[in-house]
Amino acid sequence: MKEPKVHVGILFEPQIEFILLNPYRINGMEISGKQVVTYNEGRILWNGRLYDELLFEPVNEATDAFELLDVTIGINFHWERKEDQRFLGSLKIIVENKKLTGINVIHVEDYLTSVISSEMSATASLELLEAHAVISRSWLLAQIHKNKEITETQTEYSAFTQTDEELIRWYDREDHTRFDVCADDHCQRYQGITRASTEIVKQAIAATRGQVLTSDGKICDARFSKCCGGAFEEFQYCWEDVKYPYLTKQRDWSKSTTSYKLPATNAMQNDSAAPVAGSSSLVADSPLPDLTQEAKAEHWIRTSPEAFCNTTDKKVLSQVLNNYDQETTDFYRWKVVYTQEELSALILKRSGIDYGQIIDLVPIARGTSGRLWKLKIVGTKKTLTIGKELEIRRTLSTSHLYSSAFVVDKEDISPEGIPARFILTGAGWGHGVGLCQIGAAVMGEQGYKYDAILLHYYIGASIEKLYE
């Protein structure tokens, strides 16, 4: 297999303006300079003629670049604005939904360099960046290989089962149909070569060139989240009811701290929770409890068990958290307090269901990390069990609750049984399936190699080189 190219949908406008900074080939001609293409009754108007599709290809692939003018970035965010962006590779123009779509066709490794440079902090360790490069490449090649039979172009799809007592819903990303990935947060934010890529990222991409995670001959669905909370969640408790062998329960901790660890050259000397080479007895004594059992989950969440991601080391956290805020270190274990008024108003607003006053939040079913995937909301007007984890997190927060691994305390319960306050004590940030970014950052700092990090989180998977 040769290095594949990825088709990235960049902009969707009735008219697209761009500058070919070097000579580009199209229909046997060489052209350069400013170009304008306009949507015209289902076709593309360019230089006075109509086309169904246009492809501008660089004469010198390694260096030639073009600039797209007025690309909207941060769509639907408060900082939405337009900027000119610069790209390597080809520019393809197609007609879609009565507009033109500008697509950048680019080598996979160039795309990854850009994406990882803008997503990851420049302070991240090489091992963490290498692990991320393999995950991003796996995800990207899975998108490219996907059979494109889906005709709808929603950005998210959900599936649900509903009875009088239960509403269980899960959400996942919808794939694109006319290109592989978009340039927005829906897929991965991509700005071409508008901003310089980081040296250490280039190194991490080169060192892992062509490598992806595979299982049973297929590219893995390499999910990841911010912080697992000490134990891995399994796929079926968050999304479709499918069990992937490499996304399975385990403590976020290594039993063999001495076997696949490098000499502790850059180990975190100050972190007393970090394992020290040669003293792995801590772990043998502490296997993962069955967190699907309520009592065990409650103990787990109310305590702070050792785990790679159980850290408050600011150096490590700043490698993973975008716009890192010094205050936000309490996500391994966290607390949220709601008054009765706040909680009942919040649930009404977020779910559109009027439960009346909230009497109780009852855990019904938990996954392998202690995350709730079924929660019963008991109100004065209505009682309903909801799930899965994202539905629970969206219902109980104005944005997303850190995670659905929480226990509930009620305070000042009135004679009628109405609590005045609810205290949610929780563990972790995100869905907890696959790689735990904080844990992986700690492993990188402790000197674990990128392949050891990946195989810790994607159990039994292989790392395969798909092309040279």
Place of tokens 């269901």: 353
Nearer to Zn ion, 8 or 68 (CB): 8
Nearer to Zn ion, 131 or 309 (CB): 309
CB of 55 to Zn ion, least distance (A): 21
Q: Applying CB under 5 A, which residues contact Zn ion? A: 182, 186-187, 228, 252, 309, 436, 439
Nearer to Zn ion, 384 or 436 (CB): 436
CB of 191 to Zn ion, least distance (A): 15
390 neighbors 371 (Cβ within 8 angstroms): no
Give 269: exposed, middle or buried? Use CB within 10 Å, 0-12, 13-18, 19+: exposed
Q: Indicate the angle between helix axes 126-145 and 108-119, nearest 10 degrees.
A: 130
Dist. CA 402–CA 332, nearest whole Å: 10
Q: H or E element: which one contains 108?
A: helix 108-119
Measured in degrees and rounded to the nearest 5, phi and psi for residue 431 equal -80, -20
Nearer to Zn ion, 221 or 252 (CB): 252
| Tally of CA atoms within 13 A in the half-sphere of 317 that contains its CB | 17
Is the omega angle on the peptide bond into residue 99 within 30 degrees of 0, that is, cis? Answer: no
Structure tokens at 15: 């008219």
Nearer to Zn ion, 60 or 97 (CB): 97
Nearer to Zn ion, 187 or 201 (CB): 187
Strand partners, 51: 44
Dist. CA 157–CA 175, nearest whole Å: 9
Q: Is 270 helix (H, G, I), strand (E, B) or coil?
A: coil
CB of 197 to Zn ion, least distance (A): 21
CB of 349 to Zn ion, least distance (A): 28
CB of 188 to Zn ion, least distance (A): 8
CB of 457 to Zn ion, least distance (A): 9
CB of 348 to Zn ion, least distance (A): 32
Nearer to Zn ion, 309 or 453 (CB): 309
CB of 252 to Zn ion, least distance (A): 3
Nearer to Zn ion, 309 or 372 (CB): 309
Q: List Cβ<8 Å contacts ≥24 apart for 127-130.
A: 127/443, 127/444, 127/447, 127/448, 127/449, 127/450, 127/453, 128/319, 128/440, 128/441, 128/443, 128/444, 128/450, 128/453, 129/200, 129/201, 129/203, 129/204, 130/204, 130/207, 130/208, 130/450
CB of 228 to Zn ion, least distance (A): 3
| Tally of CA atoms within 13 A in the half-sphere of 9 that contains its CB | 22
CB of 176 to Zn ion, least distance (A): 6
CB of 250 to Zn ion, least distance (A): 10
Strand partners, 11: 102
Nearer to Zn ion, 261 or 431 (CB): 431
Nearer to Zn ion, 299 or 421 (CB): 299
DSSP state of 118: H
Nearer to Zn ion, 182 or 372 (CB): 182
Dist. CA 245–CA 307, nearest whole Å: 22
DSSP state of 138: H
The bridge status of strand 156-162 relative to strand 166-173 is antiparallel
Nearer to Zn ion, 288 or 377 (CB): 288
Dist. CA 390–CA 374, nearest whole Å: 11
CB of 113 to Zn ion, least distance (A): 19
95 neighbors 39 (Cβ within 8 angstroms): yes
304 neighbors 312 (Cβ within 8 angstroms): no
